[in-house]
Amino acid sequence: MPTIKRIDHVALVVDDLEAALAFWRDALGLRVSQTEEEPSEKTTVAFLPLGESEIELVQPHTADSGTAKFLAKRGPGMHHLCIEVEDLEALLARLQRQGVRLINETPVTKPNGVRYAFIHPKSTYGVLIELYEKPQ
């Protein structure tokens, strides 16, 4: 049975990562645990731990990426809410049976073994939701 565990992170899309860090890191005092390139998403992501969750600042690299299109349409701000789950495949199957619109019908696997899938905002009252399953 799939289990919802916690909010893993809140992702904010930014047009200038360094300018955003001037607020989140320098003004608020949050530390950056790491910054990494996400080649498959054509983005750079800065991770700022906050309690048991994180804030992720996401800057697109190219105008043709999904994140860049999101930024162009909506401007900087909240991009998605990520929920950590157990048994991602079972949860996706349940959501499909319930008629929930998925962006990823099967999980995508990152090089670090994390698997994820996105739920379309049309099924979530306007919020892009990422489901995240960490390797055991």
pLDDT in tens, 111-127: 889 999 999 999 999 99
CATH of the domain at 86: 3.10.180.10
Strands (DSSP E) contained in 1-136 are 3-13, 34-38, 43-50, 53-60, 77-86, 108-109, 115-119, 129-133
Q: What is the pLDDT of residue 2?
A: 87
68-84 pLDDT tens trace: 999 999 999 999 999 99
Q: pTM, whole model, 2 decimals?
A: 0.92
Write the DSSP symbol of residue 31.
P
Domain count of the fold of the chain: 1
User: How many Cβ atoms are within 10 Å of 106's Cβ, its own excluded?
Assistant: 11
Helices (H) and strands (E) in the chain, counts: 3, 8
pLDDT tens-digit map of 18-69 = 999 999 999 999 999 999 998 888 999 999 999 999 999 999 999 999 999 9
Residue 62 structural domain: 3-133
Give the model's pLDDT for residue 1.
82
